Structure 1
Amino acid sequence: MDGIKYAVFTEKSIRLLGNNQYTSNVESGSTRTEIKHWVELFFGVKVIAMNSHRLDRRMGPVRGHRRHSNYKRMIVTLQPGYSIPPLIEKRT
């Protein structure tokens, strides 16, 4: 599980939970097959689709990509009937 950094909780990612899609940030060097294997092995679920993209960096009116960004975002779609338990830490 070294490749998966953390789960993402944004408005879009919460909306995607209704479609059985889970969003997380992963290391930039990780491949789709590695992430799929890690998710299936660690959570005991079946992955049917994966989408990934590098995040844009915005500085004022100019948008661009980091040349050596640390992570990319992965959206994993699970088969119906499978789910991943919430990954929320309790903060005090």
Structure 2
Amino acid sequence: MSYSQERLLQVLLAPQISEKATRVAEKNEQVVFRVATSATKPEVKAAVELLFKVQVASVQILNVKGKVKRSGRSVGQRKGWKKAFVCLKPGQEINFVDGGIA
């Protein structure tokens, strides 16, 4: 399937950098991204391959529910978002410190 380059550039929002993401990256050769809520697995795969020039083995997507927040009596809720775990093929690497490509 081919996607428009415009759409692929809107799919990835930001790398998700946390303790869990770092642990997963070291152990499983995976990279974690925050993605658009309408993104699909094939779109995320195509976007990562286009932007970082690496080969993707698989993609797992997770919906993160927004937290319920209170301020006095009023109760609100943060927006939910989507997280993608991108598994790279052996020997592939994405380095965000050097500006993307390793």
Same fold by TM-score greater than 0.5: yes
Matched residue count = 83
Q: CA RMSD in A?
A: 2.2
What is the match of residue 12 of structure 2? 4
Counterpart secondary structure, 2:91: coil
- Structure 1 unaligned segments of length 5 or more: list them: none
TM-score by length of 2: 0.71
Structure 1: how far apart are the matches of 2:61 and 2:97?
20
TM-score (norm 1): 0.78
Choose between structure 1 and 2: higher helix proportion. 2
1:26 aligns with 2:26: no
Select 2:60's aligned residue among 42, 51, 54.
51
Larger Rg: 2
Compare relative contact order (CA 8 Å, sep 6+) and give the higher one, 1 or 2. 1
The ranges of structure 1 where at least 4 consecutive aligned residues each deviate by more than 6 angstroms after the TM superposition are none
Give CA deviations for 1:51-89 in whole Å, capped at 9, x if unaligned.
Answer: 1111022327xxxx97x74x3000000011001121588
Runs of 5+ consecutive residues of structure 2 not aligned to the other structure: 1-8, 70-76
Q: Aligned partner of 1:4: which letter?
A: L
**Aligned-residue identity in percent:** 27
CA distance in 1, matches of 2:84, 2:37: 10
**In structure 2, do the counterparts of structure 1 residues 7 and 88 end up closer, same or farther at CA, with 3 Å as the change threshold?**
farther
1:35-74 matches, within 5 Å, as 35-59=44-68, 69=80, 71-74=81-84
